């Protein structure tokens, strides 16, 4: 399972609460620069979502999934505004990083972090990592290409790693 590093930062235990039950997971990849983490649970047997076969284009419809404002699960419509390089701080604000991301217009709020942005075929376009502080209907998602390049062979990730310190956002 892919999420954001800031979602699991500082954790000693991670539990996945799914429709199939609650499962213990290990963090097996943690990148505070790009804000990506990978969780693995041997008990969870759900089929993974598939990566989109093409990058999204301006004006393309998308779906953002998550638990906005710590509430119930929500799948909300969004529209891709553009694909661009975004420069900003890492999750600890100790350095700057450039990320390839989509900006999207829709209901993207705190709590959507780490959730997928899907195309209308249910394939993963990217991973949501933030919402605009200035515009309430603008959010950001790391592109699938950015995430895949950082993670590499996800099937080979099986060794638990540390999650450094907790971060307040």
**Contact between 76 and 62 (Cβ < 8 Å):** no
**Contact between 130 and 141 (Cβ < 8 Å):** no
The torsion region of residue 141 among left (phi > 0), alpha (psi -120 to 50) and beta comes to beta
Question: Active-site residues: which are they?
Answer: 6, 35, 113
**Contact between 97 and 87 (Cβ < 8 Å):** yes
Of 147, 156, 165, 168, which Cα lies nearest the Cα of 37?
147
Give the list of residues 6+ apart from residue 72 with CB closer than 8 angstroms, or none: none
């Amino acid at each position: 399972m892919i999420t954001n590093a800031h979602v699991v930062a500082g954790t000693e235990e991670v539990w996945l609460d799914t429709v199939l039950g609650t499962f213990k997971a290990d963090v097996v990849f943690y990148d505070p620069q790009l804000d990506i983490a990978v969780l693995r649970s041997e008990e969870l047997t759900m089929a993974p979502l598939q990566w989109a076969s093409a990058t999204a284009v301006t004006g393309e419809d998308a779906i953002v999934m998550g638990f906005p404002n710590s509430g119930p699960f929500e799948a909300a419509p969004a529209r891709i505004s553009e694909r661009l390089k975004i420069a900003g701080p890492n999750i600890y604000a100790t350095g700057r990083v450039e990320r390839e991301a989509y900006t999207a217009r829709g209901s993207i709020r705190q709590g959507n972090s780490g959730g997928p942005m899907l195309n209308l075929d249910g394939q993963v376009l990217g991973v949501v990592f933030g919402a605009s502080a200035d515009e309430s209907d603008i959010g950001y998602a790391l592109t699938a290409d950015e995430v895949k390049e950082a993670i590499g062979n996800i099937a080979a990730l099986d060794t638990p790693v540390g999650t450094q310190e907790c971060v307040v956002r």
